[in-house]
Amino acid sequence: MRKAVTLLGFSFFTLSTVFAQSDSIFQLIRSFQGDIRMFAADHLGNLYLVDRKDQVKKISSKGDSLAVYNDVRRLGPLHSIDVSNPLQPMLYYRDGVRFVVLDRFLNPVTRIDLQASEILQLKAWTRSYDNQIWLFDPLAYALKKVDLSGKVQWSTPDFRLFLGRPFMPARLFDQDRNLYLYEAGQGVYVFDYFGNLKNGIQIFDWQDFQVDGGYIFGRKADTLYRYEIKSTYYDEWTLPIELRGAVQYTIRGKMVYALFREGQTDRIRIYSVR
């Protein structure tokens, strides 16, 4: 039986009831292998594969090569990639706190240097609803919005002033007019676009944390969780043996992408969830 929990003021949702489902809901669709250090998947089913030389390859859901980004190592190691806007993938290079915006063919469009705006580090970032950048500045303890020229358009006060403690989120997502900041040991803090704290969710120590399509997804050990934001229901599934041990999981809609290290070969397996 599934139950909802109640939100009281700014208190946290509590995950207390689980609706378990069988392993048979996972169905292998296809797999790809090669040199894959990390990957991203967009909402159109395209995959972006990053190899150990930081080359980025875009392939279709059927495995067809669509584009390649070869301008590697000029800005240091590639740290992360955001493909929430498939028409403008974005690459983040931690060295120098720089971004590269690409077009859908992975051609460079613009480069953003945040050090020019006195942002010397960032802890978490995501593409904003209007194709700018949300980021958390760990030196200022502030959530900031930056445009594609690198200028700070907006910033919250120091989070320590209203949380009463240091705050260091590891993940940041823009979803349905809310911002979700996840700090593994403290839970999920939900803010509006003006930096006002709306509520929180008691989700702790989830790996592969992500917010997508009205859900929060994550994993603990061999259990996959899906929390429905609107209803506050959540489900859990025990991962089948063939889905365990991946180094990266990504969920898009009803698809689960898992990256495995298999000897000298890297392999992405794609599963549908019924």
- In sequence order, the 6+-apart residues with CB closer than 8 A to the CB of 192 are 177, 178, 179, 198
The model's pTM: 0.89
Is there a domain that residue 5 lies in?
no
Is there a domain that residue 137 lies in?
yes
pLDDT of residue 13: 46
| Tokens found for residue 159 | 């989070």
| Tokens found for residue 41 | 């998947």
pLDDT of residue 15: 45
How far, in Å, CA of 175 to CA of 221, rounded?
26
Domain count, the chain: 1
Is there a domain that residue 211 lies in?
yes
Is there a domain that residue 134 lies in?
yes
Structural domain that includes position 25: 12-273
Pairing of strands 215-220, 223-228: antiparallel
Is there a domain that residue 4 lies in?
no
- Report residue 16: phi and psi, to 5°: -125, -15
Is there a domain that residue 3 lies in?
no
Digit-by-digit pLDDT tens for the chain (274 residues) are 344 433 333 444 444 344 444 446 899 999 999 999 999 999 999 999 999 999 999 999 888 999 999 987 778 899 999 999 999 999 999 999 999 999 999 999 999 999 989 999 999 999 999 999 999 999 999 999 999 999 999 999 999 988 889 889 999 999 999 999 999 999 999 999 988 899 999 999 999 999 998 999 999 999 999 999 999 998 899 999 999 999 999 999 889 999 999 988 999 999 998 7
Give the CATH number, domain containing residue 157: 2.120.10.30
Is there a domain that residue 166 lies in?
yes
Is there a domain that residue 202 lies in?
yes
Q: Within its chain, how far is the Cα of 39 from the centroid?
A: 11
Instruction: Specify the DSSP class assigned to residue 97.
Output: T
